[in-house]
Structure 1
Amino acid sequence: MMKISPPLQEVTLLRRYKRFLADVRDADGNEFTVHCPNTGSMKNCVVEGGPCWISDSGNPKRKYRHTLEVTSTPGGFRAGVNTGRANALVQEVIERGLVPELAGYDSIRREVPYGEERSRIDLLLEGSAGPCYVEVKNVTLETGSGEGQFPDAVSARGAKHLRELQRLAESGVRTVLFYCVQHTGIERVLPAREIDPDYTAALEEAVAAGVEVLAYGARIEPDEIALERAIPFSLGQG
């Protein structure tokens, strides 16, 4: 589990705008702007006037000292919108042996350059059986009845990563797409066909080529975030 110290501060979300900014109000009525570390649309993750949680860098010299970490959703769930936490969350559960599919590796390296399109793999697992390339994606789009989808906006970068993984898989290297589901209401994951058909097509080709897909869901609290449960993934065809 990822301990958060000091715990996240609960505030009221006023609005999210310009993609990387959000205005909030604290319990004393002070309004201020925080950094929003999420490049997606955050569809179904923004409730203006609802509670959200922020972290404090403790650095008064930062332009935006605070960071938006968790939001409330229209369905009353919590969504971890700081995509920068996803890699660490996944690395932690792998190192603790909580992902049986990825057990038995001796070491993990992060952000290792690879591929024809000058990519960096999020996690490179290495051991006697050979390497395993793990690409991590943060899932927060819930579309109803526990269904989660990725991406929440057109993602040319996501499709690029799938092409890179597919090439490795076709050459016999183990590759894994790991959906880090930072949303307490998502119980299964599918590709967002209507939002990004190109990503969906690339995902179908990658899976056909041997790229494995895993999805794990998170418990989200002000003082810790932890991936605790495997979640079914489906291409949703037919």
Structure 2
Amino acid sequence: MKFPAPLKTGHLVKRYKRFLADIVLDETGEEITAHCANPGSMLGLKEPGSKVWVSQSDKPKRKLKYSFEIIEADGALVGINTAYPNKLVEEALVAGKISELNGFETLRREVKYGKNSRIDLLLEGGEHSTTYVEVKNVHLMRQAGLAEFPDSVTARGAKHLGELADMVAEGHRAAMVFMVQRPDCDRLSLASDIDPNYAAAFAAAKAAGVEAYAVGCSVTPEAIEVNRTVALEF
């Protein structure tokens, strides 16, 4: 996934109200408010003074013309925009980078299923039965090399796990794909201390036959691209 235009650099003043970030642009010294497309806590990724990258929209009707895209943390560039993981996983699937999910004929996005939900990606035809794929963004790292999910309580995430288990019970495949938007992690675990209910829901879904995979990506100011698998430690 390439950014359509060069990103601008700056330094973070503060991230607040979940979806807002004040940033001083390096080029002009102007302090701007950027849209922060991330509903999580961004634990470890909101230190004031951190170097950041933002994109600029040319859409005249946008209230905030800048979007917070990348932050430098722990010596690495970390993607914080949670609008991208679905697209990144889709690109990886089409390129055959998640071998366990290869062999499908068609891919559809945001298909209604479950209880007023939409599955991120639906794989149909080919070698396997219909496969429901839920994608989760990951960027929390509290131990070197170990990514963790979630970074805040996610009742919605637990609900999705139950619905994936329901699809398995109906005879379909279901898979959770964790997208690690940072290059410095090669392992993934569940942050059960942050959300024990999610960890319990995941254990139940796994026992019901829901599959789990994790992939990592390179992050640069030019592009974010899936480039490796990440080992699961749960």
Fold match, TM over 0.5? yes
Q: Which residue of 1 aligns with 2:158?
A: 159
Deviation at 1:13, TM superposition (A): 1.0
Cα drift, residue 47 of structure 1: 2.2
Cα offsets for 1:99-154 (capped at 9, x unmatched): 21111111110000001x22110000011332110000000100112111111000
Structure 1 counterpart of 2:166, one-letter code: R
SS at match of 2:227: strand
Is the 1:166–1:211 Cα contact (8 Å) retained in structure 2?
yes
Amino acid of the structure 1 residue aligned with 2:3 = I
Aligned to 2:89: 90
Amino acid at match of 1:228: N
Q: Does 1:169 align with 2:196?
A: no
Which residue pairs with 1:12 in the alignment?
A: 11
Using the alignment, how far apart are the partners of 1:42 and 1:138 within structure 2?
11
Q: How does 1:63-212 map to 2 (within 5 A)?
A: 63-73=63-73, 75-115=74-114, 117-128=115-126, 129-212=128-211
Superposition map of 1:211-230 within 5 A: 211-230=210-229
Q: Residue in 2 aligned with 1:35? A: 35
8 Å CA contact 1:46, 1:72 repeated in 2: no
Residues 190 and 233, structure 1, Cα contact 8 Å, conserved in 2: yes
The Cα offsets for residues 190-211 of structure 1, whole Å up to 9 and x where unpaired, read as 1110000000000001111111
The runs of at least 4 aligned residues of structure 1 exceeding 2 Å deviation read none
Q: Counterpart of 1:137 in 2: which secondary structure?
A: strand
Query: Does the 8 Å contact 1:147/1:189 carry over to 2?
Result: yes
Determine helix, strand or coil for the equivalent of 1:83.
coil
Q: Distance in 2 between matches of 1:226 and 1:58?
A: 24
Unaligned 5+ segments in structure 2 are none
Query: What TM-score do you get using the length of structure 1 for normalisation?
Result: 0.95
Q: 1:218, 1:227 within 8 Å by CA — same for their partners in 2?
A: yes
Deviation at 1:179, TM superposition (A): 0.2
Letter in 2 for 1:23: D
Give % identity. 44
- 8 Å contact 1:47–1:72 — kept in the other structure? no
Compare 76-85 and 29-38 and name the one that shifted more: 76-85
The separation in 1 between residues aligned to 2:181 and 2:202, in whole angstroms, is: 21
1:21 to 2:3 alignment:
no
Gaps of 5+ in 1: none
Residue of structure 1 in register with 2:52 after alignment: 52
Q: What is the number of equivalent residue pairs in this alignment?
A: 232
**Secondary structure in structure 2 of the residue aligned to 1:62:** coil
Shift of 1:225: 0.4
Give a deviation string over 1:159-187, Cα, whole Å, max 9, x none.
00000011112232101100000012222
Q: Output the amino acid matched with 1:132.
A: T
TM-score w.r.t. the length of structure 2 is 0.96
Looking at structure 2, the residues matched to 186 and 58 of structure 1 have their Cα atoms a distance apart, in angstroms, of 34
Deviation string for 1:2-27 (max 9, x for gaps)?
A: 11121222111111011110000112
